[in-house]
Amino acid sequence: MPRTAHALSAVLAVLVSLLAALALATPAVAAETTVDVIAHRGSSGAAPENTLTAVRLAIAHRTDVVENDIQRTRDGELVIVHDTTLTRTTDVEQVFPERAPWNVRDFTLAEIKQLDAGSWFAPEFAGERVPTLAEWVNAVGRRAGMLLEPKSPELYPGIETDLDKELRSLPAFNRALMAGRVVVQSFDHVWLRAYKDLAPDVPVGLLYSNKPTEAAIAAAATWAQQVNPSLGAIDQATVEQVHAHDMEIHVWTVNTGTAMYRAIDWQVDGIITDYPQVLRDILRRG
């Protein structure tokens, strides 16, 4: 065989080997990138948190799941606000200067709807309003999953009943539930167990600020579907322990590329982030 033919044959052999290696590698890359992109309070790095604009932007950012926070008003309405007070994310101190300490539970829905929930973030969001739970559910609709978090439920006796009644009255929620795209989570595990007893068909997740013990994970597996800790509190062994008990693990709040790569490498099931567009781009690039 001429020397040029030998060289061509060698090049072809190398190309075939490279293609075979890429074919074998493809499933492994796919397995690493099947993590859910969860928008923390919507796309809260780019829009005022827990507003309908943040929800719409999260969907535009190709989010898999939108996370929220739920409080109850004085007249029993469920609204989407993270803090137990309205001071950080609205102009309540200007609108109602005599109503300190401005707790959510001390205001009616009509009063809360008067507040600007966008200007604190940036001037272009002036006029954003605090949404109700129903408005939020309808905004998410079929376009993403729902991760719902009642905040400080001890402040709102009976909120588990209110939450269940409200959600089941919404066709968008019922469709999402049937499609397996709903989870209710809480740091208050006693309250969450009471909610689970009331709504056994709704998947639930236990939030942790600290690293959950192996015993806590095993106990959670008897009634919960997710264990959702802070990424900074855990290690890869925690992820493996949760998976060993056939539960999912969704970590929060992951806002840097380095931390996102670490969570992906540990094969968590979901990453909760203020920047879903960044996480989506990382996953797209593999």
Residue pair 228/217 in contact (Cβ under 8 Å)? The answer is: no
Catalytic residue among 61, 82, 189, 250: 82
Residues with Cβ < 8 Å from 190, sequence gap 6 or more? none
In the residue annotation, 61 being an active-site residue is answered as no
Q: 248-251 and 36-39 as β-strands: parallel, antiparallel, unpaired?
A: unpaired
Give the containing element (helix H, strand E) for 173: helix 171-178
Distance CA 243, CA 54 (A): 31
Residue 207 corresponds to which amino acid? L
Compute and round to an integer the Cα radius of gyration of the chain: 23
CA dihedral (32, 217, 233, 235) in degrees, to 10, reads -40
Look at residue 111 and give its three-state secondary structure: helix
Catalytic residue among 40, 61, 189, 250: 40
Query: Roughly what angle, to the nearest 10 degrees, separates helices 171-178 and 159-168?
Result: 90
**Burial (0-12, 13-18, 19+ Cβ within 10 Å), 5:** exposed
In the residue annotation, 189 being an active-site residue is answered as no
Give the containing element (helix H, strand E) for 261: helix 257-265
Look at residue 80 and give its three-state secondary structure: strand
Write out the catalytic residue numbers.
40, 82
